[in-house]
Structure 1
Amino acid sequence: MTDSTYTTFYLEMTSPQQLLSKPLPEALSIVECEVPQFRFNRFLYELVGSEWEWGDLDDWTDEQWRALVESDLHRTWVAYHRGSIAGYYELYRPDGTNVEIRYFGLASWAIEKGFGGPLLSHAIGSAWDWPDTERVWVHTCTFDHPSALANYQARGMQLYRQESTPG
């Protein structure tokens, strides 16, 4: 019998000076989606998340997607390499000060190409650039890429909570 317990790790950064940034490679460009398109976010979620069996939004309706993505509390960036989507991230700040990196990841073809650290640096920097941000946080789990937790910590994020859940 296999152990199906998984662990969720919660990490935070409370000062922009904690960011240990990794430079953006010249071949990677990152663009904010300034015109929200909930179907595009759904596509990005599936493109990146299918590899890691993300499923928490699988039963969301168009109305739920629209409400989140078109909210002033939500922002999306997409990373491109040679014209193709390499990854994306979403920031969410429902309380006006604490920014959650809600979703973050690379397309499967872009993994192991050195894009993860620079994209995460960009995400954290964008969160701090959002006026009035006091804290940036994220959660990851043992279902994510094996390097996910290490990448967050390498960028300066600190573990503040860990939960194990029977699967």
Structure 2
Amino acid sequence: MDTEQKPLPAGYHNVAPNMLATIVTCLEMTTRPAPRPNPPSDGLTVERWNAPALADYRALYRRVGEDWLWVSRAVMDDEKLRVIIEDPAVEIYALMRNGEKLGLLELDFREGGQCELAFFGLDQSLFGSGAGRILMNVAIDTAWEKPISRFWVHTCHLDHPAALAFYQRSGFKPYKRMVEIFEDPRQTGKLRPDAAPHFPVLTAE
């Protein structure tokens, strides 16, 4: 994600009807932030999810991410995905209530000295409940228990509208902005056609 590319010139840039364009913001923290208190748990727990089955992983990934157009892990080759989620340097956690998985946290320590907050998402039934703070506190504590000097994440404007501010309140500071253009997965059948209704599908004239 931290690749250097030539900046786009000022002005408007047409995007094909079958493509999506989004503004990606990269954020990082280089020291552990002051702790923030957890809200009442209301029966929620965060549990390590070791080597999840691909179908179970993808089901939770879709549950928390499909309406924000998360697509990468949904369509990734099985063996490539298995290598990632079974890597001992990748830690996956599920936010649980009564045995049901309602949130996904994935921490990637594969690059020495740093941790990427690779995926962070909640079932929509938990929005506004404080569950995000519970999950983020686990993310921060777990990341900084390791010998890292940098914890980073990227988000985009296709994500929940409160995501960027939430990351900043959690101690991440923005350091780079990029434009990403990719094929609209709703037009290829990779995601359901009515996903992300806040971001309309375009059709060619």
Give the TM interval when normalised to the shorter protein.
Answer: 0.7 to 0.9
Alignment deviations for residues 115-144 of structure 1 (CA, whole Å, 9 cap, x no partner) = 112211211211111x21221100000000
1:154 aligns with 2:176: no
The gaps in structure 2 that reach 5 residues or longer are 1-13, 183-205
Count of residue correspondences: 163
Of 142-151 and 21-30, deviating more is 21-30
The gaps in structure 1 that reach 5 residues or longer are none
1:4-153 alignment runs, 5 A limit? 5-16=21-32, 18-27=33-42, 28-33=44-49, 35-39=50-54, 40-129=56-145, 131-153=146-168
Report the AA paired with residue 32 of structure 1.
R
How far has the Cα of 1:59 moved from its partner?
Answer: 2.3
Report the AA paired with residue 55 of structure 1.
V
SS at match of 2:38: coil
Asked if the contact 1:38/1:65 (under 8 Å) is kept, the reply is no
Counterpart CA distance in 2 for 1:59 and 1:165 is 18
The TM-score, its normalising length taken from structure 1, stands at 0.87
Report the AA paired with residue 168 of structure 2.
Q
The TM-score, its normalising length taken from structure 2, stands at 0.72
Asked if the contact 2:61/2:74 (under 8 Å) is kept, the reply is no
Of 112-121 and 65-74, deviating more is 112-121
SS at match of 1:58: helix
- Percent identity of equivalent pairs: 30
SS at match of 2:71: coil
How far has the Cα of 1:161 moved from its partner?
Answer: 0.7
Report the AA paired with residue 160 of structure 2.
H
Larger proportion of helix: 1
RMSD in angstroms over aligned alpha carbons?
2.1
